Amino acid sequence: MQDKYTPADIERAAQLHWDQTGAARAVEDATKPKYYCLSMFPYPSGKLHMGHVRNYTIGDVLSRFHKMQGYNVLQPMGWDAFGMPAENAALQNNVPPAGWTYSNIDYMRTQLKSLGFAIDWEREFATCTPEYYRWEQWLFTRLYEKGLVYKKLGTVNWDPVDHTVLANEQVIDGRGWRSGALIEKREIPMYYMKITAYAEELLSELDNLPGWPEQVRLMQKNWIGKSTGVRFAFPLADNPDEKLWVFTTRADTIMGVTFVAVAAEHPLAQKAAVNNPELAKFIEECNQGGVAEADLATMEKKGLPTGIYVTHPLTGEQVEVWVGNYVLMSYGDGAVMAVPAHDERDWDFSVRHTLPVKRVVASQQLLLDWHKATEALKAAGIAYPDTEVAPYSFIQFIEQNLFTKQLPPDVHELVSMLHTQLLHESPNCDKGILINSGKYTGLESGAAVDAIAADLAAKGLGDKKVQFRLRDWGISRQRYWGCPIPIIHCKTCGDVPVPDDQLPVVLPENVEITGAGSPLARMPEFYETTCPKCGGHARRETDTMDTFFESSWYFLRYACPDNATAMVDERVAYWCKGGIDQYIGGIEHAILHLLYSRFFTKLMRDVGLIGDLGEPFANLLTQGMVVAPTYYRELDGGKKQWINPADVDVVTDERGRPTGATLKADGLPVVIGGTEKMSKSKNNGVDPQALIDQYGADTARLFIMFASPPDQSLEWSDAGVEGAFRFLRRLWKLVHDHVAGGLVETKIDQNSLSTAQADLRRKLHQTMGKVADDYGRRKQFNTAIAAVMELLNAYDKTDLADPTGRALAQETLESATLLLFPIVPHIGQALYAELKPGADAGLAAFPKVDPAALKQDEIELVVQVNGKLRGAIRVSTAADKASIEAAALANPDAQKFIEGKPPKKVVVVPGRLVNIVV
C-alpha cells in the first residue's frame, strides 16, 4: 500500500472500476425494495456551480447508503435544457441556443462524472430534444380536448422599445433591462392549464406528505389559499341592474364599508375614465411598470375617486367607487369592499385620502374604556359627541377639543386611556363583538357572517363562497427556446390541436436571435401550414411552453427514457409506486415546481397514463443555498466593484478576528461586505472545478457535507476545505500504518478486551448506530462525519498493540471506511480493498451494530443544585432512584451548595442527571 494519499490516481481508478462493473446501472427487480433517489436536474448554464455539487452529493450519499442497506437504487440525471439563458447567450455571443446548450451539457456531464456520483447515465436525456418534448405536446393535445387547457387573455410585461415581452426578472424598477424603457402591461391571448380544478386535491393531499418539511407544506397551503367568505354585489346607484361584485372573508365588517375600490383594469374604472381625463391619466399610470406581484404590492398606495356610486346592499347607503393601484384584477372580481376601521390597507388608504371610517368591531377593553371615559365626562359636565361606541371621529374630538382643555385629572386619565386604546385599534383587524351594526350589533363575528350571508342571499345579492388564491397556470411564452405549443390556428376551424401523426412539432434549431420578439414568428417555413381539419391555409402557434412544463414530469420519464412509442410505460409503476423515495433540491422550488409536478402527476393519472401512484415525491429534502463572503471597492460615483474572495487576503488580529482585507494584487485594502448567495453579480462564486482539480472529488464532497446540515445555507471557506483534505490524508495514514503491521481477522472476544479497548469498541458500535440514523432518518451528514472523526480520535488514543487490539483496530478501520463510503466513495473503495484484499466497498453491506459491544456497567450522572451544574457521580446502570438520590445528596460538590438546607424536591432524570431543589 502506498504511504501517500494521491486523490487523482485513486479517483480515476475507482471511477473506471464503477464504469466497467456497471455499478450504478439500475435494473427493475421485483424481488428487492426499490429506492428512487432523485436530485433536481440542472439547467445547463455552462458549468457546475457549488449548489449543484451540494445537491448531487446529498443525493449520492443517500443513494449509496441505501444500496448498502440492500435497496435496488435508481439515481438518474438529465438536463432541464429549455430556458431563457440560452437566448441571452445567443444574443451576447451570437451562437444558436441549441449548440450552446448541447456543448454546456457535454462539459457539465464530464464534471458530474469527475465527482464520482453513482448515476445511471443510460437514462440521461435533455428536455430540448424532440424525443422528450414530443410527449408533452402529445399530452397537451389530450388535455386540450378534455378542456383542461384553455385560452384567455393574460397580462405580460411589454417593452415598447424592443417590441418584446419581458420576463419579470428582466424588468428592473419598472424598466426594460436592455432598453431602459418604461414597461407597459399588455393583454395577450395565452393558453392556461386548469390547475384550479385540482386545488382541493392539491390542498388536501398535503396532509398525506409526512416526508415533506412542514414549512414547504405550509407554503403550498398558503399559496393555494383556500378561504371561505362571502361574495356579494353592490348595485350601481344610477342603474341597480348593473352590479359590482366583491369577495370578502370578513363579511362581519360589511356594515363598516365606507367605499369600494376597483382595479385600474376593472370595467367600471374604464367606464368612469371616459369622461374623466384625470382618472384616465391615473389608469394609464397604473398600466406602467411590470406585472410582478412583489412590485405591485410594495408600490405606494394610490387611488382616485370615479364619481360612480354604488348602493350598500344592506344599509342602502351610497358608497363611492375608487380606483386603487393596490387592487389586483387577477384576484377574484378585481374589486374589494373597503372597511378602513378593520383592515390595515384600507386604513392607510383612508388616512391618505381622508375617507370616512366606521368602526363596527370593538374589543372588550375599548368598550370598557369608552364606558368609563364617557361616564366621567358626563359626570364632569363636559359635552362630547353622542356617537355610538367610539368611532374614529372620537379620536379627533379628543385631540382637538379635550386635550386642549384643562380636564380634571381623573377625567383626563380616563380619556387618555380611551385615546390610547382607540389609536391601538385603528385599525382593529381582530374578530370580536359587533357594534354600530344595526340588527347585527351584539353578534360575535362568526355568527354575524352567517346572519349577513343569509340576508344577502335572501336579497339575491350574494352568498357564502369558497375561494382559492391559486390561479390557473398560464403556459404561453413569446420565446424561442422552448417546446412549441402544438396548436394550429385556422380561420374556419378555429384553434385545432396538432394530430398525433403530425407530432412532434419540431423546434427549428438554426435561427437568429435578435432580442425583439420570437424568431419563430418571423419564420414562415415554421408557422405556415395547413389545417388538419379542413386542409385550408392555416398558421401554426408560435408561442412556446413555460419551461416548468418540462420539469413537471421528467421524474416519470427517467423510468422509461428509451420508450419511443409512449410517454410512459409500466416501468413507472415499479420505480414510482408510492412516490419517488427521496427528492432533493433547492428551497427556492418549494412552491411552483413542486406544485406543478404534483398537479401533473394527478393530470397524468386522470388521462390514464399512470395508475394512482399517490403523491410524486414521498420524501423531500430542501437544501439551503451556498453563500460566500463578498468584497468590494467603491468606485467614483458610488458604484461598487466586486472582488472575488479568491483574490483577497483577510487580515486578522491575534485572536483570529478579521480586522480588514486587502487585494492580493496590490496589497491595498478592500471593503468586507456581507455573506451572500454565490452569484455572478457579487463576484463571490467559487468554481468547484478548481477545488476538484486541487484536492479531488472526495475532499470537495466531504467539505460540502461537513460544513453545515443540508437544509441550512452553506458558507464557503477555503480553510475548511484544507481541513477536509487533512482528515482524508489522516484516514489514509491510519489505514496505511495498520496494514503495514499485517492484516488480521476481525473476530473479537468481547471479554478479552481491556477497559480502554472495550470503551473504544462501544464507541465504534455507537457510532455505527448514529451514522446509520443520521444518513437514514435524520439526513444530517455533518454530524455523521463528526461522529466518525470522534471515533478516529479515540482510536488514536487507545493502546491496540496486543492481538485483541489489532483485531479491534482492523474492525474499527474497516467499519469507519464503510461508514464514510457514501460520502467519500473513491478513497473508501481504495482503503477497503487494502483492508480486505479483493473486496469491493461498493458492494459491501453497511456495518451492523453488535449489541454486546454497547453494554455498560456504570454511568456518570450530573448533579445539579437548583438547576445549576455542581458535580457528578458514578452509579451502576442498575441503580434505583433512591440510591441515586442518596449518592447525589452525599456528593461533596453538591453539599457545598446545599449548605445543610433540607432538599425541597429531588428530580432524577434516568441516565442524565439529578437536580436537588433547596
- Nearer residue to RNA within complex by CB, 707 or 748: 707
Q: Do the bridges between strand 858-865 and strand 913-917 make them parallel or antiparallel, or are there none, so unpaired?
A: parallel
- Nearer residue to RNA within complex by CB, 380 or 786: 786
Ranges of H-type helices in 115-235: 130-145, 199-204, 214-224
Reduce the DSSP state of residue 428 to 3 states and report it: coil
Nearest-approach distance from CB 423 to RNA, in angstroms: 15
Nearest-approach distance from CB 749 to RNA, in angstroms: 29
Distance in angstroms (rounded) separating the CA atoms of residues 449 and 255: 11
- Nearer residue to RNA within complex by CB, 318 or 330: 330
In this structure, what C-alpha cell is assigned to residue 198?
385540482
Nearest-approach distance from CB 502 to RNA, in angstroms: 25
| Helix or strand (DSSP H, E) at 770 | helix 755-773
- Nearer residue to RNA within complex by CB, 99 or 225: 225
Distance in angstroms (rounded) separating the CA atoms of residues 71 and 64: 10
Nearest-approach distance from CB 330 to RNA, in angstroms: 8
Distance in angstroms (rounded) separating the CA atoms of residues 678 and 48: 13
* Residue in this structure with the C-alpha cell 362568526, named with its chain if needed: 446
Nearest-approach distance from CB 907 to RNA, in angstroms: 4
Nearest-approach distance from CB 160 to RNA, in angstroms: 16
Nearest-approach distance from CB 161 to RNA, in angstroms: 17
Question: Is the CB of residue 603 less than 8 Å from the CB of residue 612?
Answer: no
Residue type, 356: P
**Strand ranges in 162-208 using DSSP code E only, listed in sequence order:** 164-166, 171-172, 175-176, 184-193
- Nearer residue to RNA within complex by CB, 289 or 313: 289
Helix, strand, coil percentages for the chain (3-state, nearest 5): 45, 20, 35
- Nearer residue to RNA within complex by CB, 437 or 544: 544
Distance in angstroms (rounded) separating the CA atoms of residues 150 and 137: 15
- Nearer residue to RNA within complex by CB, 152 or 537: 152
Distant-in-sequence, close-in-space partners of 588: CB < 8 Å, separation ≥ 6: none
Angle at 170 between CA 165 and CA 172, to 5 degrees: 120
- Nearer residue to RNA within complex by CB, 26 or 908: 908
Let me know how many helices (H) and strands (E) the chain has, helices first. Answer: 30, 35
- Nearer residue to RNA within complex by CB, 105 or 314: 105
- Nearer residue to RNA within complex by CB, 771 or 818: 771
Q: Do the bridges between strand 149-159 and strand 184-193 make them parallel or antiparallel, or are there none, so unpaired?
A: antiparallel
Nearest-approach distance from CB 588 to RNA, in angstroms: 4
Partners of residue 77 on adjacent β-strands: none
In this structure, what C-alpha cell is assigned to residue 541?
402557434
Question: Is the CB of residue 140 less than 8 Å from the CB of residue 486?
Answer: yes
Distance in angstroms (rounded) separating the CA atoms of residues 304 and 346: 14
Q: Do the bridges between strand 494-497 and strand 487-490 make them parallel or antiparallel, or are there none, so unpaired?
A: antiparallel
- Nearer residue to RNA within complex by CB, 333 or 413: 333
Nearest-approach distance from CB 120 to RNA, in angstroms: 22
Q: Do the bridges between strand 335-338 and strand 259-262 make them parallel or antiparallel, or are there none, so unpaired?
A: antiparallel
- Nearer residue to RNA within complex by CB, 409 or 656: 656
Nearest-approach distance from CB 457 to RNA, in angstroms: 28
Nearest-approach distance from CB 153 to RNA, in angstroms: 11
- Nearer residue to RNA within complex by CB, 234 or 781: 781
Partners of residue 634 on adjacent β-strands: 640
Main-chain phi, psi angles of 67, to 5 degrees: -65, -40
Nearest-approach distance from CB 851 to RNA, in angstroms: 18
Main-chain phi, psi angles of 121, to 5 degrees: -70, -10
Q: Choose among 487, 491, 378, 363: nearest CA to 421.
A: 363
Partners of residue 584 on adjacent β-strands: 39, 621
Distance in angstroms (rounded) separating the CA atoms of residues 740 and 414: 89
Nearest-approach distance from CB 573 to RNA, in angstroms: 28
Question: Is the CB of residue 93 less than 8 Å from the CB of residue 103?
Answer: no
596 exposed, middle or buried (CB, 10 Å; 0-12, 13-18, 19+)? buried
Ranges of H-type helices in 36-129: 50-68, 84-93, 97-114
- Nearer residue to RNA within complex by CB, 556 or 785: 785
Sign of CA pseudo-dihedral 313, 319, 323, 327: negative
Distant-in-sequence, close-in-space partners of 119: CB < 8 Å, separation ≥ 6: 24, 60, 75, 76, 77, 112
Nearest-approach distance from CB 849 to RNA, in angstroms: 14
Distant-in-sequence, close-in-space partners of 825: CB < 8 Å, separation ≥ 6: 14, 60, 64, 116, 118, 698, 841, 842
Nearest-approach distance from CB 602 to RNA, in angstroms: 16
Distance in angstroms (rounded) separating the CA atoms of residues 374 and 286: 46
- Nearer residue to RNA within complex by CB, 377 or 788: 788
- Nearer residue to RNA within complex by CB, 219 or 236: 219
In this structure, what C-alpha cell is assigned to residue 602?
394527478
Nearest-approach distance from CB 210 to RNA, in angstroms: 14
